[in-house]
A = this chain, B = another copy of it.
Amino acid sequence: MPQLRIALAQVNACVGDIATNSAMIRNWARSAVERGAHLVAFPEMVLSGYPVEDLALRKSFAAANRVALEQLAADLQEDGCGDALVLVGHLGRDDEGPRNSASFLHAGEVVATYHKHHLPNYGVFDEARYFAPGFDLPIVRLHGLDIGAVICEDIWQNGGPVAALGKVGVDLVVCLNGSPYERAKDDARTPLVAGRATEAGAPVAYVNLVGAQDELVFDGDSMVTGRDGRLLTRAAQFTEQLLVLDTDLPAGEHTTTTVPTEPGTVRSPAAFDVQRILLQPDPVPAYEPLPAPPVAEPLPDEAEVWSALVTGLRDYAHKNGFRTVTLGLSGGIDSAVAAALAADALGADAVHGVSLPSDYSSEHSRSDAADLAERIGCHYQEQPIRDMVEVFVGRLGLTGLAEENVQARCRGITLMALSNQYGHLVLATGNKTELAVGYSTIYGDAVGGFAPIKDVPKTLVWQLARWRNAEAEKRGEVAPIPENSISKEPSAELRPGQVDQDSLPPYDLLDEVLDRYVESDRSYADLIAEGFDADLVERVLQLVDRAEYKRRQYPPGTKITFKAFGRDRRLPLTNRWRELRPDQR
């Protein structure tokens, strides 16, 4: 059986930076070829970055992708990588419009291009807006083996190009991905890849991006499964890695180019045009295979979420040109976890914590903030807001909610002023629970360029804090988060004696209802049937349905669930629908 050394380049691309992405691809391809790889695969749209959103529609950007792709083929040849088959994802464009494309580069040329067929258009994906679906199915024969390529969603939908490849015959399927992280997504991904291998009757080599782009984090998790579905190797998550695997594959010597149609598929447009491209008919001479690379285990839940949040924050800051961040430290759990994440992402020296006490701030709000800063080793200053608040309250005669909000807003202005003066990125420290129910002040604690725990429910914030402290203790390091910040009762401290539970149900109950309502789309009636108290459900649902404007104005933040509050969950601002008892709508 012909041997083939496959290299999967699990890399971090940046949207729009074609020059840097090209240089990065050259470097990794060279490393792979130095390690003897015959085939080097890069992720979905690695050349353009992913997702490019409306940049996909700009003709000049598509033209720049084409120029860079051809230059890359020539550069790879010049680098001595011309004998390898290099698969690169990029933005394409032809008479049908923009394409999500994967090109096969070989011997200085673009020898074939596949266009993504199944275009996801749910959740964070808007690909039906951007791309024309592909119906071409190029299959390249390299060293006697027939190799096809598909892209990401193509393996998540039934009946597409993988099935077609299986029907016409192929020896290896390479799948290029820009598959965003979600909690426990790898539980679904590995069996999926295995199932498609069985369907194609050939191994599937799955290569995914790592790193973050705006709200999305890509966790890598690249892998190869055998034609029997067995997992042969898997890369670690959240880290760049070149995964090199030697394979020994039966050569099918396939020649069919017509996909047999099935009866009763009148509405199915999947009439693929198969092209077989002969590059190298003969197997490579037998060689001693490398030892099999390890199968990385997925991270445990908290470690996985923490890594996703660290990656999201680091890449958002660095890719946008920020080296330092500032945030308000209230002594509470949210800002403590945000600060610990920032220190892990950017280094403690890049973190500038600011305590912003008012007249209503407790003594422990300052001492816990100072304790946190010391534990983390970050910069720390106190900027009392009393004088600013007094002027607004006095001049405008503010009372009640207006007085509460002006405190949060004086904090926001202070942080933004420090950002403008010193160039820090401001972090907003709100959690998903607050965002869901609108328990935040617009232009106040919602101020910032990035919100690291925006998609983390309050109960998970506590869980992560405990986990991170325990990890530190395991490593013999100082636990970053003060115990008092974890154990004390949460309070916004905007009026005397205020605690969150004055306004909100207990967090464990609240998070349970929110999870079912937001993530699982349960109705009022469903929730009652599931045993929740009617008044509680009504109260929570009213809060959620009314908070859309606040959520829209919140800064972006790392997404760790399918239904984060961000670009993938869009309700009208003007919306009178209420999930209430039928008589109360």
Contact = CB atoms under 8 A, between A and B. Distances in A.
Interface of A: 14-20, 49, 51-55, 57-61, 64, 121-122, 126, 128-129, 135, 213-214, 266-267, 269, 271, 315-316, 319-320, 383, 387-388, 391-392, 395-402, 405-406, 409-410, 412-414, 416-418, 420-421, 442-443, 447, 449, 521, 523-526, 549, 553, 555-556, 567, 569-579, 582, 585
Residue of A60, A271, A395, A572 with highest tally of chain B CB at under 10 A: A572
Contacts of A54: 569-571
A521 B59 contact: yes
Nearest to A401: B420
Contact of A129 (B122, B383, B388, B574): B122
B59 A572 contact: no
A126 B129 CA distance: 8
Contacts of A122: 129
Given A121-B128, A416-B443, A577-B16, A53 B523 contact: no
A397 B422 CA distance: 11
Nearest to A125: B129
A397 to B, nearest CB: 8
B585 A19 contact: yes
A392 B414 CA distance: 7
Contact of A57 (B58, B388, B521, B553): B521
Contacts of A443: 412-413, 416, 443, 447
B388 A572 contact: no
Contact of A421 (B58, B388, B398): B398
A51 to B, nearest CB: 7
A82 to B, nearest CB: 25
B391 A15 contact: no
B417 A572 contact: no
Contact of A413 (B410, B567, B576): B410
Contact of A396 (B417, B556, B575, B579): B417
A543 to B, nearest CB: 16
A399 B417 CA distance: 10
A16 B546 CA distance: 12
A417 to B, nearest CB: 5
A573 B556 contact: yes
B16 A572 contact: yes
A402 B423 CA distance: 10
A574 B213 contact: yes
Nearest to A568: B54
Contacts of A128: 121, 128-129
A447 to B, nearest CB: 6
A122 B14 CA distance: 25
A573 B320 contact: yes
A574 B319 contact: yes
30 contacts: A15-B572, A15-B577, A16-B572, A19-B585, A20-B576, A55-B572, A55-B577, A58-B521, A58-B579, A59-B521, A64-B582, A128-B129, A135-B267, A213-B572, A267-B269, A269-B269, A316-B573, A316-B574, A383-B395, A392-B413, A397-B421, A398-B417, A405-B417, A405-B420, A409-B416, A409-B417, A413-B413, A416-B442, A449-B549, A567-B570
B55 A575 contact: yes
Given A214-B573, A267-B271, A319-B574, 14 more contacts: A14-B574, A60-B523, A121-B121, A122-B129, A126-B126, A267-B269, A320-B573, A383-B395, A387-B391, A387-B395, A396-B421, A397-B421, A402-B417, A409-B417
Contacts of A398: 417, 420-421
A574 B269 contact: no
Contacts of A214: 572-574
Given A414-B396, A443-B412, A51 B521 contact: no
A177 to B, nearest CB: 18
Contacts of A421: 396-400, 402
Contacts of A121: 121, 128-129
Contacts of A14: 574, 576
A447 B553 CA distance: 10
Nearest to A574: B319
A122 B97 CA distance: 13
Nearest to A19: B585
A398 B420 CA distance: 9
A267 B266 CA distance: 9
